[in-house]
A and B are shown apart, each in its own frame.
Chain A
């Protein structure tokens, strides 16, 4: 099978699988967050946590719950890493140094999963299983909870209380992530992914040298790593490692897992707001942008301009050689379009234009289709901005889904929108002022070096976690500034979105009239797509001009 067809077949299978589960799974998610019944296990948990599952929270309480929960999680994860020497299954790996431990703790709690460490050398199985994997579940459940609260903002009327964070968190974990991850892990093991508590296996190579291959409980982490759009690999090579991603079938399964929740949440949204077409239009916008990005990357990587690449017929450096160009760009588009960040091909080795795709996916604000929950609330924030302008242009106080967009709504949306560019631009700009840091961190000079730094902050600020490679981000500056970028990029928008939800929920519904601008329409879809692209372009074009654009035009 030619490289193109391999990619095309996997793309078709992927789209088919997503289409098959879209409705049932999206509707299941809607039921999870609206059901009145508590599972027995959940009730036990609520009793343990002393939570009244039927009490509801106002948005500030909900936000405080998330913040408190997350900061406790960070502290716990930090301690776990620092205490590694006394933990079982540490294989003699010592305490993680403070800066790295802090960065890692923040990274996994914010659903970023940026890895400044090399897992096989730094972390034992206890930290992986009890720390990182747990946060993979919880951070994803937090993202979904925030998205659901925003949807409730649209569906509730004259309401102050938006739900109970502890209930939403528990249900997201117990009813969605745990069962699916379990099934996925079993499937992955069946397909050849490693699941082992041993530290490694010693093998003798063809030339007679003996070496140790690291082993890990990979399948269990791999499943939630993709499903929760986390992306932190249990091996340094991440999804390019044959123990994490051994075959085209695991590649397909993992690609499916990392898209399934963000994609299906648009259905959940449509179901909950009582108009499925509203979800379809969001999915279409996401799909169009995702497809466009994929097409650009695919074209760029198969139309190389270097002499070696021309000879090979494609740009093969850093590609996932087992799977070829098509599957490499497909993975790259999915992993950056969702905020997963698990890499298979090395984005750093992409051509100028091809490399701009993973970067561009993040700079669009992670909405193609974005992280678990974060993608949905991200695109809704952009929809609010788009509808604000569109509403004015039809001569009414702007509204979206029968809720008016007034001062408070626009302020919240603006704060949510403003955070990511602020973090990315300030981080990149500040780093560029530090020649010492740059000299130590960069392996490439010129525009590519700028791209690497921009990519790092875009990845952190968007909670993506993928690395461009080529950047050694282990200095205290990078550990600290990227951690701050991750924290701000995660929690400022979350608080703003919850405030937005609170404000929307207090409103009554504006009845629909012929004067209402219909949002389940191609016109709105185009408008939203245009807004997403324009906002990102206007913000980042100057920086992109000096980085990827200068490379691409060279």
Chain B
């Protein structure tokens, strides 16, 4: 990204806006905890806590312990109570830190969005100056150089360069014009030149920027289906442990040792899955945040989750798998022509050709014959036309042409030349291999001769084959969609290493393909930008619209890529998976922790009744009080310790499901069993020094 070149007055602001998204990719500093503390404290009310059943039990337990500590104050009761409250606080802190990271971006965005004044056109002519927030769908507004576009909409009149850095962080201006696929403009962006009339397409408060603000702040967060299911499982575990602890008291009483309420509360809080419950919403917010940092805007968390489940990826060939334009990659002489002669002819024929193909021929020759390319021939440019299907250059005594094989052949024949049979063979061969042949011919000394054939190829972007192989390992099938003929399509598909391809595809074919994949139970992801992509985008489970695309496309998809980079789909899938893995891994960790806590707390509670149970104190914890307190402290601290992991997401490398599970079970399952033994033991070494505990 180049920030310095941004013209107009918004450069500074856009630099500030863009910075947190890209310059600071998910880093976490301890001071973030401090900054989020006030927000965390505000979350401690019972109403907020009741939203999470596990944390509500902790909250209620802390309240109960407080009453107990007031009634029977001692170092033990006060410390345990304090640490129970810390547990609640740390859980709130985790959520607050995650939300805080989006706040800075949101604030800048909001500034850009709210202070705009719109020039609304009256239906009968003339205009009113109204606040941007009062615009309605269908209003027409006029925006001129230096003004900010007041809301999302389509350009209905005029053409303008627009600075979209406030949204995309990309400072190079883009062109927006009425009609076609480049008509959509976003509220909060700035017109750099010219004048356009925009028809507003979003209601106030629901514009792109508004949605982005809500998203990065975590305000519009709704629980995703998997999150709901996980919450049910966590609640079930909480009920089981609640039962286990509540019924323990009568059993303990029967056994001759009624337990203090505070010890039972401590046991309960340690057993219920507080770790994952505390981090659950932070994981969700951070997952969304990771997407936003990659300049992808998801309309719902559900879409992000669906991305993790995607099993078929539809990729447009052009711009995604290949570079957008065909370029010259080879010069094939025919009829015994000297390669240098062919190169010169091709170069001459392309000098006046401004198309990307023409420029690529010039570049190819300049690269391979540097001496040739320095000459400055004069002459008259023959432009390409639909009738001639050729272009070229006429200089004194030398006419050169390049173009479609049959057109050039006709030209050569018309000028008394013969076309060697070899030409057709070479051209066909190039076509078969996925390229486009351009025949180069020359009229010199009154006779036309074919010099050779230029191969124009779709150049597959580097690294695509590896990316598709990784996707395959993840269980995702890639399907390349292209308007090319089947021959060309097959050749490119082979080069890129996609699993399947759809040639001569019309938008309806895309839709049909999505439907048929979904019939088989597969989830489909695709990218698109044009209005004719909208039905397919809407039908796909994950539809990523390009920000350069039309409003219709953006409305239809459930994500928008602000960088308009179609390959980002691959990253989106990875982020979706990472989100789920982080939840699963931390749940496993949380549950596995319980074993060690039993070994700490049960002997502490019951060694007085049955001395033989002291044998369970394998950590050698000093006293019953220190054992219980250490377990509670560990339980609270582990939340803070895992906040960075929750925000960053667990490491994800595309590999088979089996390998992923084995790794995560080892790290978070076995690790979760072992870690608390060490942690509680270490904390006990410190806690035992406190008077009244050790």
With A and B bound together, what is the CA distance between A252 and B517 in angstroms? 54
The residue in chain B whose Cβ has the minimal distance to the Cβ of A418 is B236
Question: Are B229 and A508 in contact (CB-based, < 8 A)?
Answer: no
With A and B bound together, what is the CA distance between A513 and B255 in angstroms? 55
Q: Cβ of B620 < 8 Å from any Cβ of A?
A: no
Mask: chain A, 395-422; 1 = CB below 8 Å from B; 0 = not: 1111000100111011100100110011
Known: A396-B309, A410-B233, A538-B241. A546 touches B606 (CB 8 A): yes
With A and B bound together, what is the CA distance between A428 and B595 in angstroms? 23
Mask: chain A, 436-462; 1 = CB below 8 Å from B; 0 = not: 001000000011011000000000000
B592 — which chain A residues lie within 8 A by C-beta? 534
For A, the interface residue count at a CB cutoff of 8 angstroms equals 65
Q: Cβ of B387 < 8 Å from any Cβ of A?
A: no
Q: Which of A397, A447, A513 contacts B308 (CB 8 A)?
A: A397
Stretch at the interface among A10-18, A366-374, A478-486, A516-524: A516-524
Known: A394-B581, A447-B610. A514 touches B305 (CB 8 A): no
Q: With both chains docked as a complex, state the minimum distance between the C-beta of A46 and any C-beta of chain B, in angstroms.
A: 36
Question: Are A410 and B229 in contact (CB-based, < 8 A)?
Answer: yes
Stretch at the interface among A188-196, A263-271, A384-392, A468-476: A384-392
Q: Which of B235, B241, B612 contacts A550 (CB 8 A)?
A: B612
The residue in chain A whose Cβ has the minimal distance to the Cβ of B247 is A429
Question: Are A389 and B473 in contact (CB-based, < 8 A)?
Answer: no
With A and B bound together, what is the CA distance between A425 and B250 in angstroms? 10
| Residue in A392, A395, A514 with the greatest tally of chain B CB atoms within 10 Å | A395
Mask: chain B, 649-683; 1 = CB below 8 Å from A; 0 = not: 00010001110111011001100000000000000
Question: Are B598 and A541 in contact (CB-based, < 8 A)?
Answer: yes
Known: A417-B236, A430-B250, A513-B477. A393 touches B658 (CB 8 A): no
Q: With both chains docked as a complex, state the minimum distance between the C-beta of B613 and any C-beta of chain A, in angstroms.
A: 6
Q: Cβ of A311 < 8 Å from any Cβ of B?
A: no
Question: Are A392 and B658 in contact (CB-based, < 8 A)?
Answer: no
Q: Cβ of A433 < 8 Å from any Cβ of B?
A: yes
A545 — which chain B residues lie within 8 A by C-beta? 602, 606, 613, 616
With A and B bound together, what is the CA distance between A392 and B664 in angstroms? 10
With A and B bound together, what is the CA distance between A421 and B598 in angstroms? 18
Q: With both chains docked as a complex, state the minimum distance between the C-beta of B317 and any C-beta of chain A, in angstroms.
A: 23
Question: Are B661 and A406 in contact (CB-based, < 8 A)?
Answer: no
Q: Cβ of A58 < 8 Å from any Cβ of B?
A: no
Q: With both chains docked as a complex, state the minimum distance between the C-beta of A513 and any C-beta of chain B, in angstroms.
A: 4
The residue in chain B whose Cβ has the minimal distance to the Cβ of A157 is B521
Q: Cβ of B576 < 8 Å from any Cβ of A?
A: yes
Q: Cβ of A134 < 8 Å from any Cβ of B?
A: no
Q: Cβ of B475 < 8 Å from any Cβ of A?
A: yes
With A and B bound together, what is the CA distance between A510 and B517 in angstroms? 11
Known: A417-B236, A432-B250, A450-B254. A523 touches B308 (CB 8 A): no
Question: Are A432 and B253 in contact (CB-based, < 8 A)?
Answer: yes
With A and B bound together, what is the CA distance between A417 and B228 in angstroms? 18
With A and B bound together, what is the CA distance between A449 and B250 in angstroms? 13
Which B residues between 585 and 625 are near A, CB-CB below 8 angstroms? 585, 587-588, 591-592, 594-595, 598, 602, 606, 609-610, 612-613, 615-616
Q: With both chains docked as a complex, state the minimum distance between the C-beta of B260 and any C-beta of chain A, in angstroms.
A: 15
Question: Are B602 and A392 in contact (CB-based, < 8 A)?
Answer: no
Q: Cβ of B527 < 8 Å from any Cβ of A?
A: no
Question: Are B243 and A407 in contact (CB-based, < 8 A)?
Answer: no
Q: With both chains docked as a complex, state the minimum distance between the C-beta of B97 and any C-beta of chain A, in angstroms.
A: 23
With A and B bound together, what is the CA distance between A397 and B522 in angstroms? 12
Question: Are B229 and A514 in contact (CB-based, < 8 A)?
Answer: no
With A and B bound together, what is the CA distance between A374 and B305 in angstroms? 35
Q: Cβ of A509 < 8 Å from any Cβ of B?
A: yes
A549 — which chain B residues lie within 8 A by C-beta? 613
Q: Cβ of A99 < 8 Å from any Cβ of B?
A: no
A411 — which chain B residues lie within 8 A by C-beta? 229, 232
A406 — which chain B residues lie within 8 A by C-beta? 225-226, 229
Q: Which of B247, B598, B665 contacts A428 (CB 8 A)?
A: B247
The DSSP consensus for interface residues of chain B is helix
With A and B bound together, what is the CA distance between A226 and B93 in angstroms? 57
With A and B bound together, what is the CA distance between A496 and B615 in angstroms? 40
Known: A521-B658, A553-B612. A392 touches B254 (CB 8 A): no
B662 — which chain A residues lie within 8 A by C-beta? 523
Mask: chain A, 504-548; 1 = CB below 8 Å from B; 0 = not: 000011110111111001010001001000100111111101110
The residue in chain B whose Cβ has the minimal distance to the Cβ of A442 is B254
Question: Are A429 and B657 in contact (CB-based, < 8 A)?
Answer: no
Question: Are B250 and A397 in contact (CB-based, < 8 A)?
Answer: no
Q: Cβ of B246 < 8 Å from any Cβ of A?
A: yes
Q: Cβ of B70 < 8 Å from any Cβ of A?
A: no
Q: With both chains docked as a complex, state the minimum distance between the C-beta of B550 and any C-beta of chain A, in angstroms.
A: 31
The residue in chain B whose Cβ has the minimal distance to the Cβ of A527 is B665
Question: Are A514 and B236 in contact (CB-based, < 8 A)?
Answer: no
Question: Are B244 and A395 in contact (CB-based, < 8 A)?
Answer: no
With A and B bound together, what is the CA distance between A530 and B595 in angstroms? 13
Question: Are B615 and A553 in contact (CB-based, < 8 A)?
Answer: yes
A539 — which chain B residues lie within 8 A by C-beta? 240-241, 244
Question: Are B521 and A428 in contact (CB-based, < 8 A)?
Answer: no
Q: Cβ of B476 < 8 Å from any Cβ of A?
A: yes
Q: Cβ of A44 < 8 Å from any Cβ of B?
A: no
With A and B bound together, what is the CA distance between A530 and B587 in angstroms? 15
With A and B bound together, what is the CA distance between A553 and B255 in angstroms? 15
With A and B bound together, what is the CA distance between A450 and B232 in angstroms? 32
The residue in chain A whose Cβ has the minimal distance to the Cβ of B476 is A515
Known: A517-B657, A518-B657. A389 touches B241 (CB 8 A): no
Question: Are B251 and A421 in contact (CB-based, < 8 A)?
Answer: no
Question: Are B661 and A393 in contact (CB-based, < 8 A)?
Answer: yes
Q: Cβ of B230 < 8 Å from any Cβ of A?
A: yes
Known: A510-B521, A517-B661, A545-B613. A389 touches B232 (CB 8 A): no
A547 — which chain B residues lie within 8 A by C-beta? 251
Which B residues between 358 and 382 are near A, CB-CB below 8 angstroms? none
Question: Are A392 and B584 in contact (CB-based, < 8 A)?
Answer: yes
Question: Are B228 and A396 in contact (CB-based, < 8 A)?
Answer: no
With A and B bound together, what is the CA distance between A409 and B587 in angstroms? 18
With A and B bound together, what is the CA distance between A76 and B577 in angstroms? 55
With A and B bound together, what is the CA distance between A394 and B309 in angstroms? 10
Question: Are B472 and A514 in contact (CB-based, < 8 A)?
Answer: yes
Q: Cβ of A554 < 8 Å from any Cβ of B?
A: yes
Question: Are A511 and B520 in contact (CB-based, < 8 A)?
Answer: yes
Question: Are B584 and A397 in contact (CB-based, < 8 A)?
Answer: no
B588 — which chain A residues lie within 8 A by C-beta? 389, 393
Which B residues between 240 and 292 are near A, CB-CB below 8 angstroms? 240-241, 243-255, 267, 271
A553 — which chain B residues lie within 8 A by C-beta? 610, 612-613, 615-616
Q: Cβ of B311 < 8 Å from any Cβ of A?
A: yes
B472 — which chain A residues lie within 8 A by C-beta? 514
Question: Are A395 and B475 in contact (CB-based, < 8 A)?
Answer: no
With A and B bound together, what is the CA distance between A437 and B169 in angstroms? 75
Question: Are B612 and A394 in contact (CB-based, < 8 A)?
Answer: no
Q: Cβ of B583 < 8 Å from any Cβ of A?
A: yes
Question: Are A392 and B247 in contact (CB-based, < 8 A)?
Answer: no
Q: Cβ of B18 < 8 Å from any Cβ of A?
A: no
A45 — which chain B residues lie within 8 A by C-beta? none
Known: A394-B661, A511-B520, A516-B657. A554 touches B311 (CB 8 A): no
Further 18 A-B residue pairs, CB within 8 A, beyond A397-B308, A543-B251: A392-B230, A393-B665, A396-B577, A397-B309, A397-B580, A406-B225, A429-B250, A447-B610, A450-B255, A508-B521, A511-B522, A515-B474, A516-B657, A534-B591, A540-B244, A541-B602, A549-B613, A553-B615
**Chain B residues at the A interface, C-beta cutoff of 8 Å:** 225-226, 228-230, 232-233, 235-236, 239-241, 243-255, 267, 271, 305, 308-309, 311, 472-477, 520-522, 576-581, 583-585, 587-588, 591-592, 594-595, 598, 602, 606, 609-610, 612-613, 615-616, 652, 656-658, 660-662, 664-665, 668-669
23 contacts between A and B (CB under 8 A): A385-B233, A393-B588, A395-B308, A395-B578, A395-B579, A398-B226, A410-B230, A411-B232, A417-B236, A429-B247, A432-B250, A449-B254, A513-B311, A513-B476, A515-B311, A515-B474, A515-B656, A515-B657, A517-B658, A521-B658, A530-B669, A538-B594, A545-B613
Q: Which 3 A-B pairs have the closest CB atoms?
A: A515-B475, A392-B584, A395-B577
